[in-house]
Structure 1
Amino acid sequence: MTTRAGGRHGIPWRAAGAAVVVLLAMVGAGLVGASLKGTPAPRPPQPLAQAAATPSATPSFDTYDEAPAPVGLPRSTPTTITIPRIGVGASIISLGTNPDGTVQVPPLERAELAGWYQPGPSPGEVGNAVIVGHVDSAKMGPAVFFSLGALQPGDAITVAREDGQPATFTVESVQRHPKDAFPTELVYGPSDKPGLRVVTCGGVFDEAAGSYPDNVIVLATLTE
């Protein structure tokens, strides 16, 4: 069972040749759940260095171009993601797109799972691998990436792979963007380095809309 990443507000992704042009800003209930009814919902931590960034304010990775780019690993399906700082140790399922072109996300009833966007690079390959997950759900409360916003530059993220070669990444930045200004190119655009993008929802839960207004995005590069 899958749901739209954009819920009822989802905008389709479209493919142009081999490159996927992402038109989905991950809005609505899809990437993240609902508030906890009947009890005050805990608030997920938000990035410290950047309260609400916009694409125009997004830092570039050009500052790292002077260092040799890590050699990428061959393609392999990821199996688990481990983030020691925030106590994440989660299984990963493979995700694609729905018949209408919107992205799939882990089902809310399995909000402890992370999901890898399979049409893109696998973690460790050259390019930006994307892993998404819920921040919370009405059923289980805090979900797999509830504390994603607490990560800091220099933290480690390790993704185990089916081929037995783990890919360990170093966090470069943790950002928060409004969903209506989702930095598509930064997350899903091409890269000549092995990168990782981890995405969940952020901001203060909007009870009226039934969703979070922002996305928390972790940008990381393969550790040499």
Structure 2
Amino acid sequence: MKKLLFYGGLVLIALFGLLVYNYNQQTKQSGAQAYMTNVAPWQPARLRIPNLSLDAPVIGVGSTASGKMDAPTSQAINSPYWTSVFWYELGAAPGQAGNAIIAGHIDRVGGDPAVFWSLNTLAKGAQIFIVTGEGKTLTYVVDGAKSYSANDPGEEAQNDVFGPTNQHHLNLITCSGAWTENGYDQRLVVFTHQENT
């Protein structure tokens, strides 16, 4: 009888631990999914790049305390941050006049590939598609790419990437260059223009 109670208690403890773990995992996942799917009709919801076999959800972000564009990270290997891209909500939205900015990580914690791992292979003329919250598809064409210093990009780079324009542009950003103790030392920017504006 004592053995039966002992083993029954162990099973209950294991079940309770499993329930707590699943609840915590579900809370984390549903919070991220709710944020990604709560998109206004005009906001970008998905980024598709057929040449890279990329189809990623878009998460809206603001700026950090230092005024730079935010790019959330996580210590979890399976975090949605590694497979999602980040739209800079303080700038233009895709489809509007201006420089719309979307960033993505090149790799995840541990060094495995992330969403923009192959962004540097995107050639001039390649098509990029943004799907808005209302299901409208916007088409962009790659004009070229350029790398900038991550620590001191300079005023010209800031203007090229984030500055005002009457044209409809989408600039894609990821890390590049060499890994240092402060992260990668360069940022790769792929410049595009919208077709049929």
Q: Same fold (TM over 0.5)?
A: yes
Match of 1:212 in 2: 184
Q: Which letter does structure 2 place at the counterpart of 1:212?
A: Y
Choose 130-139 or 145-154, whichever is displaced more.
130-139
The answer for the alignment partner of 1:155 in structure 2 is 126
Q: CA RMSD in A?
A: 1.7
> In structure 1, the residue corresponding to 2:183 is in which secondary structure?
coil
Question: Among 53, 66, 72, which residue is 1:106 paired with?
Answer: 72
Q: How many matched pairs?
A: 148
SS at match of 2:47: strand
Q: Could you tell me which of 189, 198, 205 is aligned with 2:163?
A: 189
Structure 1 residues 84-121: Cα deviation after superposition (integer angstroms, max 9, x where no partner) = 11121100000012455443213334211100001111
Q: CA deviation at 1:194?
A: 0.8
Aligned to 1:164: 135
Looking at structure 1, the residues matched to 52 and 146 of structure 2 have their Cα atoms a distance apart, in angstroms, of: 16
C-alpha change, 1:142 and 1:78, in structure 2 (3 Å) is same
Deviation at 1:185, TM superposition (A): 0.3
Deviations 1:126-173 (A, max 9, x none): 111000111001247100101111011100110100122211100001
Shift of 1:222: 0.2
Residue 164 of structure 2 aligns with an amino acid whose one-letter code is P
Alignment partner of 2:160: what SS? helix
In structure 2, distance between residues paired with 1:219 and 1:102: 19
Checking the alignment, whether the CA contact within 8 Å between 1:198 and 1:219 is kept in structure 2 is yes
User: Residue 88 of structure 1 aligns to which amino acid in structure 2?
Assistant: L
Identity percentage over the alignment? 28
Residue 198 of structure 1 is aligned with which of 143, 149, 172? Answer: 172
Please state whether the residue corresponding to 1:204 is helix, strand or coil: strand
Q: In structure 2, what residue type is equivalent to 1:92?
A: V
4+ residue segments displaced more than 4 Å: none
TM-score, length of structure 2 as denominator length: 0.70
Query: Hey, what does 2:10 align to over in structure 1?
Result: none
Amino acid at match of 2:50: P
1:135 corresponds to 2:109: no
> Take 1:114 and 1:91, find their aligned partners in 2: how far apart are those partners?
6
The residue number in structure 1 matching 2:17 is none
Q: Distance in 1 between matches of 2:173 and 2:120?
A: 10
User: Larger C-alpha radius of gyration, 1 or 2?
Assistant: 2
Q: 2-side partners of 1:152 and 1:158: how far apart?
A: 15
Shift of 1:221: 0.2
- Structure 2 distance, partners of 1:198, 1:212, is 16
Structure number having the greater helix percentage: 2
| Structure 1 range deviating more: 122-131 or 172-181 | 172-181
Name the aligned partner's letter for residue 116 of structure 1. Answer: W
Query: Does the C-alpha gap of structure 1 residues 177 and 102 become closer, same or farther in structure 2, counting only changes over 3 Å?
Result: closer
Normalising to structure 1: TM-score of the pair? 0.62
Which structure ranks higher in relative contact order (CA pairs < 8 Å, sequence separation ≥ 6)? Answer: 1
Deviations along 1:11-59, whole A, 9 cap, x unmatched?
xxxxxxxxxxxxxxxxxxxxxxxxxxxxxxxxxxxxxxxxxxxxxxxxx
Q: Match of 1:191, SS? A: coil
Residue matched to 2:43: 77
